Amino acid sequence: MKILFDNYKVCDTCHSLWGFSAYLEEYKLLFDTGSNGRVLLKNMQQLNVDVKEIEYLFITHSHWDHIGGLDSIIELNPNLTLFVPSSLSKHLIKDLKTLVKEVVVCGKKPQKLFANLYTTGVLGDETPEQSLIIDKQESTLITGCGHFGVENITKVAREIIGRDIRCVEGGFHLLRSSDEKILQTIDALKEMGVKCARPTHCSGDRAIELFTLSIDL
């Protein structure tokens, strides 16, 4: 996974703004679009990611910092299949269907997308959000913000693929959490068999520090 857009600097010549986007080159899949399309495109150029090569776009939830670059991507590459959560505005979904090749609306039930990629389904009521599972030998869970709780999302992901999730990456939504809560989260992930974690975006500096210090994770 190549991070393209983050509130942490992803390369020396890249611009940093609040939001998140990443690219899975193996699947030609863009995961979220950050908060600003112009910045996303400039960062993609710096990181040698060609917008025309993208075939799929996975949107986790409707917050501005994850869909802000959507128009910019579609304008340059309308030949896309979008995987969007059912919680997205129905008017936006209707408009998107006129702008891209295909829009797949993902509901609360988990489903296989293509190859070995799955959505967890839309989780949570207050801030509904879907996450992405890569069911390979080293299984990976990618979260946008993790509003439902990264440990809860990991539990759901394990149940979907029927085995442990080895790596968890993305936003863990721990920015305002206490050390106790962060350490509880780390312990919960360990107990579920997670061996590596890459918190970023809304995880917060302290969570990133504590995850880094947890050398067994």
Helix then strand then coil, in percent of the chain rounded to 5, is: 35, 25, 45
Question: Could you give the residue ranges of the DSSP H alpha helices within 34-136?
Answer: 37-46, 64-67, 70-76, 90-96
pLDDT given for residue 44 in this prediction: 98
Q: Which two tokens stand for residue 75?
A: 């304008």
| Structure tokens that stand for 142 in this block | 């990618």
pLDDT in tens, the chain (217 residues): 999 999 999 999 999 999 999 999 999 999 999 999 999 999 999 999 999 999 999 999 999 999 999 999 999 999 999 999 999 999 999 999 999 999 999 999 999 999 999 999 999 999 999 999 999 999 999 999 999 999 999 999 999 999 999 999 999 999 999 999 999 999 999 999 999 999 999 999 999 999 998 866 6
DSSP string covering 163-198, please? S---EEEEE---TT--HHHHHHHHHHHHHTT--EEE
3-state DSSP assignment of residue 74: helix
- Rounded-to-integer distance, Cα 157 and Cα 179, Å: 25
Q: Give me the pLDDT at residue 215, please.
A: 62
For 136, which DSSP code? S
Pairing label, strands 117-119, 111-114: antiparallel
Tokens of 7: 């509130």
What's the confidence (pLDDT) of residue 214?
84
What integer pLDDT is reported at residue 216 of this predicted model?
66
pTM of the model: 0.97
